[in-house]
Structure 1
Amino acid sequence: MSCRAFLDTPVPEDTVRAILDAARWAPSGGNLQPWHVHVVTGDALEDLHGRITPRFDTLPLAEGAEYQVYPVPLSPPYTGRRFKCGADLYASLDIPREDRPARYRQYARNFVLFGAPVGIFVSIDRQMGPPQWADVGMFCQTVMLLAREHGLHTCAQEAWTFWHKTMTDFLELPENMMLFCGIALGHADMDHPVNNWRTERAEVDDFAVFRGF
């Protein structure tokens, strides 16, 4: 699940290191290992919040995305899945579709990591292509699965690309590096309604073809 409400319980550095130490064995084509990681917590995270939260009035476009998160146009069945996911999310919070300010306020929660005490920011070298982006995705998935093994929850957030200029400065990324996503990491607040709904998923036979069995 994508956790969108966290407790403020700290996560020890040793735990994050253990997660990344195991995740570094994620597969990558040619063993390029094209992921680069910054882990932020404590005063550094407060610094980041201070750079962004006073500028929430610029949402939703902020600084403009550095890469296209979704194809335009997006065709069925993907449009329906995306719409349903958003509708269920806001319904869990009793936010009607027409209440745009409330929707923006919830969207802005991305940029305080939904209250998570740790932010993991994953970058990729600009020379890399779609195969290496897939490798970085597998690395992120591995991080998130390992987090569950440690009793933690996560939320992967491509939305951070909309603050790519601020994040490049904050993380001190060299020109050849591009921020791919953030991953909020911490202990889930399971009493919060936003964490008590689940996205719908297609059945196996809707997306898989079996031959020769």
Structure 2
Amino acid sequence: MTDPDFVQAFDGVMKGRYANRFFIDRPVPHETVRAILEAARYAPSGANTQPWRVHALAGAAKARICADILAAHDREAAQHASEYTYYAPDLPDRYQGRKQEFGRVFYGALGIAQDDAAGRASQTAKNYAFFGASVGLIVTIDRRLETGSWLDLGMFLQNVMLAAKVRGLDTCPQETLAKYHRVLRRHLPIAPQDIVVCGMALGFCDTAAASRRGVMERAPVEAFASFHGFEAPPARDTGE
């Protein structure tokens, strides 16, 4: 029998998770990171292929990599690019509108004007220190795999984020770290056939700083789902 309290708590974890960009300098124990990955590995994948690989960074190893990426970003950002395209070059209006709204809410909450290129660049650079989180994850996938395996990888990443959230930790997935795959390869045993998909900040939230973040509204169910073959839902009582 379904436990309503458990359902409510589980739904609350999913609804309460967001891409946090504000962390405190508090170490996350190795055993906690391992437990998160232990839970996340049960994500579904086609024919149980499990097409993910994770490099977990902390301490001096993370500091060296962050310093190297930041130096590359400062000196030669234009020379670095991801090995895959994240956004379509011509986003349909629906998605372009949501993307623009994200920028307005996110940068507006930080007091960064739309035309403040320097302010936006400074905020972007914080990605390369994992926003101060004590753990950084680098996630790769074999380039010989097809789109279906990327779907599997997405479910694994969601598992990582939810497993972190129930342990009192926050996360932020970061595609922009994929741009510096050549720098990452200098430090990590990334196979030539692997593509760097993203990074992920993992750590303890700076709640005071995070309180400034804008709220990103999500589309209602009616905006993306249609129902077929169900009984009509009961009419809502309007109180009239």
1:42 is aligned to 59
Distance 1:7 1:193 in 2: 11
Distance 2:180 2:159 in 1: 25
Cα 1:65–1:176 change in 2 (3 A) is same
Larger deviation: 39-48 or 184-193? 184-193
8 Å CA contact retained: 1:39, 1:118: yes
Moved over 6 A (4+): none
1:25 is aligned to 42
Distance 1:47 1:113 in 2: 13
Identity %: 41
Alignment of 1:57 with 2:74, yes or no, is: yes
Instruction: Please state how far the C-alpha of 1:190 moved relative to its aligned partner.
Output: 1.4
Q: Which has the larger Rg?
A: 2
Unaligned runs of 5+ in 1: none
Instruction: Please state how far the C-alpha of 1:20 moved relative to its aligned partner.
Output: 0.5
Unaligned runs of 5+ in 2: 1-17, 231-240
- CA RMSD, aligned part only? 1.4
8 Å CA contact retained: 1:60, 1:104: no
1:135 is aligned to 152
1:116 is aligned to 133
Instruction: Please state how far the C-alpha of 1:193 moved relative to its aligned partner.
Output: 4.8
Cα 1:173–1:87 change in 2 (3 A) is same
Distance 1:82 1:121 in 2: 24
Alignment of 1:68 with 2:82, yes or no, is: no
Distance 1:179 1:160 in 2: 8
Alignment of 1:170 with 2:187, yes or no, is: yes
1:161 is aligned to 178
2:8 is aligned to none
Distance 2:216 2:150 in 1: 24
Instruction: Please state how far the C-alpha of 1:59 moved relative to its aligned partner.
Output: 7.0
8 Å CA contact retained: 2:23, 2:205: yes
Instruction: Please state how far the C-alpha of 1:54 moved relative to its aligned partner.
Output: 2.3
Cα 1:56–1:176 change in 2 (3 A) is closer
TM-score (norm 2): 0.85
8 Å CA contact retained: 1:93, 1:194: no
